[in-house]
Structure 1
Amino acid sequence: MQKTELFAIDLFAGVGGLMEGFKRAGINFIAHVEKDKYCCETIKTRLFYHFLKENNEEDLYYKYLYGEIGREEFLNIYPAEFQEIAEGVINTEINDQNLPAIIHTICERIKRKNLKNIDIVIGGPPCQAYSLVGRARDPYNMEKDPRNYLYRYYVSILEEFKPEVFVFENVPGILTAGKGKLFKDIQQYFKNAGYEIEYRILNSADFFVLQNRKRVILMGWKKGSGLRYPTFEKIDHNYKVKDLLSDLPPLKPGEGEDRKPLQYSGPPSDYLIKAGIRSYRDVVIHHKARNHRAMDREIYRIAIEYYRNGKKLRYTDLPEHLQTHRNKDSFLDRFKVVDWEAPFCHTVVAHISKDGHYYIHPDINQLRSITVREAARIQSFPDNYIFEGPRTQQFIQVGNAVPPLMAYCIAVEIRRMLE
């Protein structure tokens, strides 16, 4: 039986973690709205990959992945089709000034495709203003941060296009921001727009992602539609983080490559195949280790030795000459080793773009922090996912993303609801 064709709008799209999961579930997109130019370039590349794959031209994508052709040549393989894709990636900030133009662009794309309606809206405003860490660092507890109110633009899009269902994603800290009042306001805005809503705190570790990453997933559906929040069954398994990372080539600090392909150091694990992270055609990209100061490597060695002995390093455990921070009362776990023997890694966040101290590779012979590719795998991105832009931006893209495997499970249930 042919599946129903469903169309979605992607707000605050980031690097496309939510999009990737929904695309895999067979959901089409009219538009993606994202202010970061590197994220937009990454989304365009990925959407072009899906176009080529759907048209049995995947070989052309792999030429770009392998470095056999440059980006300009790659994008000019099907110039008209790529132009259509690119026009749907709206690189602009969602604010009062830009909102009318965003709505106009989306309306024009809907008309061109002769669609009667939009089925789904997905996305989550930037989470820094809601995060507990962000609030701890801000003297006003983030209460004056204008990002607190980006949800109102999300609601404006709902009111304009009236989708059957929407998915609003954010960090658990949103529940307590503004002493809980903010989230109450958010819920009331959604209800006033004509939607019944429910939310859950979902953990990506329950969706076959080897990462402990909790997120608030709020869903809404038109009042009177008879829909309800899906029931998600936890996916049990016996895999460990080493099943995720052990086939990647070992690196010393400064070694590796960003876009020049590297070969795997071993065959894929069962997990990598079942999760769709590595296929027989893939190679290793974005696997270049940071350079580290001698002092940091000394700390990494101590942290790994603690890890090997079943202990967690606290900052105050370090020798005096290695304690350079004045703050010795909080954030004492600022150096953390990725646990290969655990069923999931601790949460990957965008701060990894500043330093890798919280994500130390457990191999004492490598003595480094993890690479973009290793972080992307922890997030469940496939190895053929290309992140455009410099390495710092790649880390930010990965750290802010929704794990595609988690997004796929959500998308499957959304499709089931609508069919």
Structure 2
Amino acid sequence: MKGNDILVIDLFSGPGGLGEGFASYQNNNEEYPFKIGMSVEKDPHAHMTLTTRAFYRLAKQKGCLDGYYQYLNSNLSRAKLFESYKGIYESAFQETLEGPSELGKDNDHIHARVKELTENHNGPKILIGGPPCQAYSLAGRSRNAGNKNYVPKEDHRHFLYKEYLKVLSIAKPDVFVMENVRGILTAKVENQLIFPQILNDLQNPSKITGSDSCPSYRIYSLVEKTDEADNSTPASLNYLIRFEEFGIPQARHRVILLGVREDIKQIPDILDKNIYPKVSVKEAIGDLPKLRSGLSKKADSYDSWQEVVSKNAETLSKLHNIGVDVNKTDLQPYEDLKRKETVHKNKSLNQLPDHLRKWILDPELNLVLNHETRGHMESDLLRYSFCALHGEQRRFSPKAENFPAELAPQHQNWNSGSYNDRFRVQVSTKAATTITSHISKDGHYFIHYDPKQCRSLTVREAARLQTFPDNYIFEGNRTNQYTQVGNAVPPFLARQISEIVFSLIKKHYSNL
């Protein structure tokens, strides 16, 4: 690593969305100034994904991607790929700490590596990552509220940000980026909002870590301009980023904090809402191969699926006052659909706007990765048909009260309001709703907009909505892959943040 490279330490990495955005940033000289020194992730499948992507990045730098594309084309196993390019693999494996690592449990190993990297690097350093959010998320808090034995102050997940602080005190980076769910703004422990405490601790890490040598930081918003270098009241700023306003095809709303070391007197820019157009679901995924769902409770075949979907179309046509005109839309299924497709026949017909076309598509890749459907029960497929039809004609996903009584699931709480969004179609003309790890469970919140496909989204479609490049492969089984995608930060949003960070650091260092 060169002295003017910017060392990146990535914590709670997931499959690497935040790191991908930074590592992919090119400056005006078409150089890649951000170099990932280490990525910390405890999940073994996400760790595999991180290592494969680190291999891709390092192989690209050396101009030897032939083996990687052979792996994507299933002409080379992952083990054989790493064996054939042993030096690159060893560097990639070292970058991901030679195995899954968990902050709070493997601190000796993690902290030693942070110390080694930072002491041997004379150039700029940044820290990125988002502590796990289950304790802060609205869904997580709702689950916890139903548990009479749940005690917030005993939930260690509320305090995982302190593990972030420990690394901060060792690395002493020029800048840090910390991401979390919007629920962090309203989460409480012992009736006290936790967010002001987190802000205060991030400003003054030494108070928590006891490290006298740790500098202080100023906390900035990425969407609200701060006029003064001394932002002594950061709690008054708006930290919530609405991703759909920045060229991401998804209404994902997250809190992202930008910390700047006290000796750096530059004020960071903010994200620009006027650069990229808004992107719809159909623009993002419409070119991907059409697929059918599987059948989970009977023999699975195209003929069986076609029979079920055709029968469902007939059932819908007999219902009255359901808010849609069944005769207006052809619900008969496409011919000869598969559950998995690797050939990307319609790549040239994509409707991606320019910024995502350049970011997502790979001219060297003519196949589709991680594009396979899950199985569903017949009764749920009927509801999927209705939801897709409703989304196509009404331009919004039906709530529980919009469902005909004949389609209501046999659930005693269906009309309670708690299950209002139990089935949610991703409307083709709008940005997607937030892709979450729940997509690994049943797919009901992520119904494809096309009623003739009658299914939930695939991993690749979810990855497109998260702006992962098409050559980004997710390791593990399909459930593992869904979880990784749902937990990630959209790389293209991270790429925009990296530009702000680079600009700030460049103003401070004259040799960049």
- TM bin, normalised by shorter chain, reads over 0.9
Measured on the aligned residues, the alpha-carbon RMSD in Å equals 2.0
Match of 2:227 in 1: none
Q: Find 2:101's aligned residue among 55, 74, 92.
A: 92
> Aligned pair 1:210/2:280, yes or no?
no
**Alpha-carbon shift at residue 191 of structure 1 (Å):** 1.5
- Supply the AA of the counterpart residue of 2:375: N
> Aligned pair 1:55/2:62, yes or no?
yes
- Supply the AA of the counterpart residue of 1:21: G
Match of 1:345 in 2: 432
Instruction: Provide the secondary structure at the position in 2 that maps to 1:76.
Output: helix
> Aligned pair 1:306/2:390, yes or no?
yes
Aligned pair in 2 of structure 1 residues 380, 39: CA closer, same or farther (>3 Å)? same
- Supply the AA of the counterpart residue of 1:247: D
> Aligned pair 1:333/2:421, yes or no?
yes
**Alpha-carbon shift at residue 238 of structure 1 (Å):** 5.8
Match of 1:324 in 2: 410
8 Å CA contact 2:397–2:426 kept in 1: the answer is no
- Supply the AA of the counterpart residue of 2:284: L
> Aligned pair 1:195/2:217, yes or no?
yes
Correspondence 1:239-318 to 2 at 5 A: 239-254=279-294, 255-257=338-340, 261-269=342-350, 271=352, 274-275=355-356, 276-282=359-365, 283-310=367-394, 311-316=396-401, 317-318=403-404
Residue deviations 1:102-157 (CA, integer Å, cap 9, x gap):
1112333456xx31366100000011111011111212485542111000010111
More displaced, 263-272 or 162-171?
Answer: 263-272
Aligned pair in 2 of structure 1 residues 273, 294: CA closer, same or farther (>3 Å)? same
More displaced, 319-328 or 223-232?
Answer: 319-328
Q: Distance in 1 between matches of 2:3 and 2:383?
A: 54
Match of 1:5 in 2: 5
Instruction: Tell me the percent identity.
Output: 36
Q: Name which structure has the greater RCO, CA cutoff 8 Å, separation 6+.
A: 1
| TM norm structure 2 | 0.77
Q: Distance in 2 between matches of 1:82 and 1:70?
A: 14
8 Å CA contact 2:244–2:278 kept in 1: the answer is no
Correspondence 1:141-160 to 2 at 5 A: 142=152, 144-160=154-170
**Alpha-carbon shift at residue 264 of structure 1 (Å):** 2.9
**Alpha-carbon shift at residue 8 of structure 1 (Å):** 1.1
Aligned pair in 2 of structure 1 residues 147, 118: CA closer, same or farther (>3 Å)? farther
Match of 1:233 in 2: 272
Report the structure number with the largest CA radius of gyration: 2
8 Å CA contact 1:12–1:126 kept in 2: the answer is yes
> How many residues end up aligned between the 2 structures?
412
Residue deviations 1:61-90 (CA, integer Å, cap 9, x gap):
111111111101111222123112212213
**Alpha-carbon shift at residue 58 of structure 1 (Å):** 2.1
> Aligned pair 1:410/2:497, yes or no?
yes
- Supply the AA of the counterpart residue of 1:291: G
> Aligned pair 1:46/2:131, yes or no?
no
**Alpha-carbon shift at residue 274 of structure 1 (Å):** 3.2
Correspondence 1:340-419 to 2 at 5 A: 340-342=428-430, 344-419=431-506
More displaced, 187-196 or 134-143?
Answer: 134-143
8 Å CA contact 1:10–1:32 kept in 2: the answer is yes
More displaced, 290-299 or 175-184?
Answer: 175-184
Q: Distance in 1 between matches of 2:253 and 2:74?
A: 36
8 Å CA contact 2:383–2:407 kept in 1: the answer is no
Structure 1 spans left out of the alignment, 5+ residues: none
Q: Distance in 1 between matches of 2:170 and 2:72?
A: 39
Residue deviations 1:298-347 (CA, integer Å, cap 9, x gap):
111121222233153222424256422222322311111111112x1111
Q: Distance in 2 between matches of 1:272 and 1:48?
A: 29
Q: Find 1:116's aligned residue among 106, 122, 126.
A: 122
Structure 2 spans left out of the alignment, 5+ residues: 26-31, 206-215, 222-238, 295-337, 507-512
> Aligned pair 1:73/2:83, yes or no?
no
